[in-house]
Structure 1
Amino acid sequence: MSTPAKKKSGTTNKWAKPAIVAAGVVIGLLVLVLAARWFTGLDAVKSFMTTYPGQSELPATAPVGFPVWLSWQHFLNMFFIVLIIRSGWQVRTVKRPPAHWIRNNKGLIKTRNAPTKISLDLWFHLTLDALWVLNGLIFIVVIFATGQWLRIVPTSWDVFPNAISAGLQYLSLNWPTESGWVNYNALQLLTYFTTVFIAAPLAILTGIRMSGAWPKNARTLNKIFPIEAARKVHFPVMIYFVLFIIVHVTLVLATGALRNLNHMYGHSDVVNWWGFGIFAASLVVTVAAWFAARPLFLRPIASLTGKVSK
């Protein structure tokens, strides 16, 4: 008769800690908002925010709007990064992988080194990484060729005080005026710059260091950049991407969802449901890929380039 009581107690304890953490986060955010509202009401701070309204002026040559290719880039980047985070978490947490993969050491991919057996999860993670890097390289080349880089690379020092001003506006819930079609606010600009030019290269470099592609006999290079250092950086970078996605999606939906989604997916500045429809379809594709990324579907694909075994 005591077993159900124990199960109930266990279930209660299971959810007690997450509930306490969630309550603490909510209370902490409420305190920050109230503090920001008080702080931004000070005369000196008001003067500062008048001088720096939260947005730096772009060069006259900066393009306006988002071309079609950028919408496709945005979707592919979202698609790959979500699956990369999923597969990376599996590589980190699954102790007994359901299958392993070993590459074919023949034909065009023949190498001197003997093939190394890796988990199917790691094969999927590395394959996604390669596609994500290819998409990123295309993105970098095209934004510099078209001038779109001017929208996400700081070109004046006033971006920093403007970013502080924009941050205070967000935190006090008096959010800065959105005009992303023409110019991001300074905090958005710095965040996108950090994501594209710092976080992404760090993820790539540390990922390569931990992969089999890194030269094992390069003693000097390995001493300069030990694998332990790569592991300590790679996981926090993944956490950064998770937090970026959460905050990014939240603000897109909270600051004029239809217009923002048209910017990102409909390459227009009008307010209608076209961009939302494309966004919804992209979510369906991404969610379907999330659930399809299982050994049943991955095995035949992985078998095209190697041998899959249980």
Structure 2
Amino acid sequence: MSTPTKKPRAAAGKRSRLYWAVPAALAGLVLVVLLAKWLMGLPGVASFVADYPGHSELPDNAPVGFPAWLAWQHFLNAFFLLLIIRTGWQVRTTTRPSGHWTRNNKGFIKTKNPPTKISLELWFHLTLDVLWILNGLLFAVLLFATGQWMRIVPTSWDVFPNALSAALQYASLNWPTENGWVNYNALQLLSYFVTVFIAAPLAFITGLRMSGAWPKKATGLNRAFPIEWARAVHFPVMVYFVAFIAVHVFLVLATGALRNLNHMYGVRDDDGWFGFWVFLASVVVMAAAWFLARPLFLRPIASLMGKVSR
């Protein structure tokens, strides 16, 4: 008789925590803004911001603007990440899979041991991972081949005081002014560097460690990199990506939406509407993919690569 009363109490407890969390977060943000404004009013801090305005100078041979391939890479990365985060959450929370998939061991990939049956959600997650990694490898090659790496890799130690300056400016609501077509501010640069060169590889290596592709009989390797470590890191990395995307989208829209969207989607540096319409089309594509990513449509695709069962 006690079971029915536990769930409502648990739900009420969660709602109560949420009710308190929202105003607490807002109060915390207000305090951060007030503290930042007070700091910016101090002569020493004002002098620091004047000396370090928030961006580092790029090398003389750094490229200006964004090539078309980078716009496509940006869209594909956002597309894959959206679905990867969704399927990752499904894998983590689904108790009754909508189906199962077993790899065809007579196809392109052949192994001595029989393939392991996995859930349809995990199959889709891993498939998206492979596509995301391939896209990332292509991105890395083009990034270093075209010199675009100089825009997201620190080339001077003054990036750190400039990042602190940019953070103070953001927190005080006196946001740093820069032209992203030419150069990112230091805080942007560091966040992109961490995302591309730290978070993404961490997501890959920890995901690989938890997958069936990892060699189970490699005793020394498994002892050096326990699966528990991978599980402990993989989920926080996903949370990081969610937070990064949320902040990134907010700042894109809040700091000159049309120009920023033209940079990323229109490959141009103006305030026209072209980038907005391309962005809107990309959102429609991602929304359609979100809708179609369900068992009814996934089973026929999965069956091309293996056996689908209940």
For Structure 1 versus Structure 2, the TM-score category normalised by the shorter chain is over 0.9
Q: Matched residues in 1 for 2:60 and 2:11: separation? A: 61
Corresponding residue for 2:57? 57
Is contact 1:178–1:255 with CA below 8 Å preserved after alignment? Answer: no
Corresponding residue for 1:222? 222
Corresponding residue for 1:119? 119
By how many angstroms is 1:108 displaced? 2.7
Q: What SS does structure 1 have at the residue aligned with 2:108?
A: helix
Which runs of 5 or more residues in structure 1 are unaligned? 1-7
Q: Matched residues in 2 for 1:253 and 1:268: separation? A: 17
Percentage of matched positions with identical amino acids: 70
- State the Cα deviation string for residues 179-203 of structure 1 (Å, max 9, x = none): 1000000000000000000000000
- State the Cα deviation string for residues 22-66 of structure 1 (Å, max 9, x = none): 111111101100110001110000011111000000000000000
Q: Matched residues in 2 for 1:178 and 1:277: separation? A: 24
By how many angstroms is 1:178 displaced? 2.6
Q: Matched residues in 2 for 1:153 and 1:17: separation? A: 40
Which runs of 5 or more residues in structure 2 are unaligned? 1-7
Judged with a 3 Å threshold, the aligned counterparts in structure 2 of structure 1 residues 13 and 85 are, in CA distance, closer, same or farther, namely: same
Corresponding residue for 1:4? none
Q: Matched residues in 2 for 1:11 and 1:272: separation? A: 47
Question: What letter is aligned with 1:233?
Answer: V
By how many angstroms is 1:292 displaced? 1.3
Q: Matched residues in 1 for 2:120 and 2:223: separation? A: 30
By how many angstroms is 1:11 displaced? 8.3
Q: How many residues are treated as equivalent by the alignment?
A: 304
Q: Matched residues in 2 for 1:190 and 1:276: separation? A: 26
By how many angstroms is 1:15 displaced? 3.7
Q: Kindly report the root-mean-square deviation, in angstroms, between the aligned alpha carbons of the 2 structures.
A: 1.5
- State the Cα deviation string for residues 233-282 of structure 1 (Å, max 9, x = none): 00000000000000000000000000000000000001011101011111
- State the Cα deviation string for residues 64-99 of structure 1 (Å, max 9, x = none): 000111000000000000100000000000011110
Judged with a 3 Å threshold, the aligned counterparts in structure 2 of structure 1 residues 35 and 127 are, in CA distance, closer, same or farther, namely: same
Corresponding residue for 1:5? none
Corresponding residue for 1:3? none
Judged with a 3 Å threshold, the aligned counterparts in structure 2 of structure 1 residues 14 and 206 are, in CA distance, closer, same or farther, namely: closer
Displaced runs of 4+ in structure 1, greater than 4 A? 8-14
Judged with a 3 Å threshold, the aligned counterparts in structure 2 of structure 1 residues 119 and 258 are, in CA distance, closer, same or farther, namely: same
Question: What letter is aligned with 1:72?
Answer: W
Question: What letter is aligned with 2:148?
Answer: Q
Q: What SS does structure 2 have at the residue aligned with 1:20?
A: helix
Corresponding residue for 2:191? 191
